[in-house]
Amino acid sequence: MSTKKTPRALYIPPPLRNNVNNDLIISNDVRKPSSISESSTVNLSVNQHTDEIEQSFKSLQLSDNPTEVYDGSKKNVFKSKLLSKNEQTLEHKTEPRLNLSDFQHIIELYNLPKDVENYQLESELAGFQDSGFYQKWVDDEHCLLVFSSSDEAHRALAQISGLFIKARKIDDASLASKQKIARSAGDWSMPYKKRPVTTSSIAHRIISSHLGIAPNKKNSIEDTTRDEQNKALLREARVREQAIRQAQNSMGEGDD
């Protein structure tokens, strides 16, 4: 606890209260002139500050140009980088900078009917399920198709008849499609890669070995059938991959 005494007694006996009140009145009377002087100085400073604000407002000048900002001291005029509507439309219509040689595995479908569905586009591209592709809509009339290679994209261009669906190279694509690619050029530069065929037999074998479960020597009919189906799927995937590789090599030799 603090040992400092309070400046005023906590309890004043009744006989002494009149004397204390008289002392307080006298002290207040003594302090009045100082308080008057202090209030006069405060009022003077407030008036000076008000005059300065009024002068600064008078020095301001209005301008019809909304891009100009005047600082009041008449020394510097700063122009903000606000674009007009015409400049914004021009910026929106400018073609983005793209290295189109990195996107030759992409083609654009254009002038599409508004009621066209995805399955209708896939039916037009029958025969590309093995190599695979995926589609990204730009708007109601444009769609981008991403293939596994530039050769597959060129083959798709040759296959599309143009009666129901029209297609063109990425070099001749619309401005909206190029702007969509430019927003994430790194993602679009990667060709489509189909997920390899997998089976659950290897996973079952690994889990059983880690858990210490010995495989049954006598497999059930269902297990035997499942293993045969998995092996057949893997064989078909290998044959399909070899055929695609041979076709790509033959097309490359033909170009030479």
100-188 folds as Alpha-Beta Plaits (3.30.70)
Average pLDDT over residues 183-207: 78
Q: Confidence band (pLDDT; 50, 70, 90) for 26?
A: very low
- The answer to whether 136 and 233 are in contact (CB under 8 A) is no
Of the candidates 9, 3, 188, the residue with the CA atom closest to the CA atom of residue 107: 188
φ, ψ dihedrals at 55, nearest 5°: -65, -40
* pLDDT score recorded for residue 67: 46
Longest dimension (CA), the chain: 125
Q: Please give the C-alpha separations between residue 74 and each of 38, 66, 234, in angstroms, as whole numbers.
A: 37, 17, 81
Residue 147 pLDDT more than 60? Answer: yes
| DSSP E strand boundaries for the chain | 68-70, 77-79, 106-110, 133-137, 143-147, 166-169
Output 44 or 69, whichever has higher pLDDT.
44
Residue with tokens 């903000």: 80
Q: At what angle do helices 221-255 and 201-211 cross, to 10 degrees?
A: 130
Tens-digit pLDDT profile for residues 168-187: 999 999 999 999 999 988 88
Weakest mean pLDDT among 34-38, 151-155, 199-203:
34-38
- The answer to whether 105 and 149 are in contact (CB under 8 A) is yes
Residue 27 pLDDT more than 70? Answer: no
